[in-house]
A and B are shown apart, each in its own frame.
Chain A
């Protein structure tokens, strides 16, 4: 079970252990929050969890998360919830932020493996896979990195959220910027917005999840102090009938 209200119902019990899930959407749809809540719920059950933040400093991330009642600093102090700043990892590895060679990415993957292995991490969030891939030189490097990442994650049986941005190409919404991210994913959760008469409703839809018979219907979500809450989208209120 993810422990996130409503999501486990959609997933018919939760995410199968060890699945890699692409959590994708546009800005402001709650990707980071659902990622953190996923970890907090796991840590509250005694699991070891890790969040690798790429897009914002960990201090700022924690500060933002403190606005939610579900977030608990004690989980960090107790060593159940680890938050890593990718820039700090780079410093430790002697890497510089910029464009990376495949060799550099192997070093980074090795660091991720060490985190998961040495801390016995069972829930991992990388926020975002898109930002990491932007550091790579070309599509083949991106493909190799993503496949290597998927390989190691499946070996360790760690349930992982890869946070990603959606893009629109030729009027069609794609689940990831580089088109490779979904290939290694066991599941895809699409977060978005519906514009209803000028008001934006946050939505969540489980497009794919291997290993569980799940709902594929679009749902409306809300970020409450307790975390994400979810109800089915009213059919006559969807963007396309």
Chain B
């Protein structure tokens, strides 16, 4: 079974709306991201908002389309492009000057969610480890707390992805506490399991709330 098939198998066990912590190792990070978005868009037929604090939206859009994920119902929030001085002209994209402007990310998300045309919507936040680069730990933890509760209040299918090796321990702990479900992808921290050699597999856990 490929990592994509394994992730989709885990996703199929989840309810129609959840706060999911997608915790991946570095090696499988993009595959985990693409497999999850593919499931949301192609299987569940959700539209939604993809927030990037890791790579410019133009790159992500190309990757999605190359993987057979139509992006017509996906709106984006890009907090990376201004940092690297790139062009900010992508369709259906709101731009935030920096990943440190966490409240502005929330406001742009609200605006973009209103533009999504599908009845059911998802929010995919890429990534918590990306935010950890630009934000103090206490601020980031406060944000995760506020953000996850806000998404839960709106009953949105929310995915918070993070690269295991680059996620501060306290942030990881809070994500486990605040999210409804957790999918572990690839090798666990501190040990390379035998299955990791063939992609690592995906494991579903229940969150702390």
Contacts and interface: CB of A to CB of B under 8 A. Distances in A.
B103 interface: yes
A199 B100 contact: yes
Interface of A: 196-199, 201, 220-222, 224-226, 229-237
B107 interface: yes
A53 B98 CA distance: 34
A224 B107 CA distance: 9
Interface stretch (B44-52, B84-92, B134-142, B160-168): B134-142
Contact of B102 (A221, A222, A224, A237): A237
Given A229-B111, A237-B139, A199 B103 contact: no
Which of A201, A234, A235 has the most chain B CB within a 10 Å cutoff? A234
Nearest to A241: B138
Contacts of B111: 222, 224-226, 229
Contact of B104 (A198, A201, A226, A236): A201
B142 A236 contact: yes
27 contacts: A196-B100, A196-B101, A197-B100, A199-B97, A199-B101, A201-B103, A201-B104, A220-B107, A222-B104, A222-B108, A222-B111, A224-B107, A224-B108, A225-B111, A226-B111, A226-B114, A229-B111, A230-B107, A231-B103, A231-B110, A234-B139, A234-B142, A234-B146, A236-B136, A236-B142, A237-B102, A237-B142
Interface in B105-125: 106-108, 110-111, 114
Nearest to A219: B103
Contacts of B97: 199
A198 B99 CA distance: 12
B134 A197 contact: yes
A199 B98 contact: yes
8 tightest A-B CB contacts, nearest first = A220-B103, A236-B139, A222-B107, A236-B138, A199-B98, A229-B107, A224-B111, A237-B139
A233 B101 contact: no
Contact of B103 (A197, A198, A226, A233): A233
Given A199-B101, A201-B103, 14 more contacts: A196-B101, A197-B134, A199-B98, A220-B104, A221-B107, A222-B104, A222-B107, A224-B111, A226-B111, A229-B110, A231-B106, A231-B107, A234-B102, A237-B102
Contacts of A196: 100-101
Contacts of A230: 107
Contacts of A220: 103-104, 107
A201 B98 CA distance: 10
A234 B107 contact: no
A198 B143 CA distance: 19
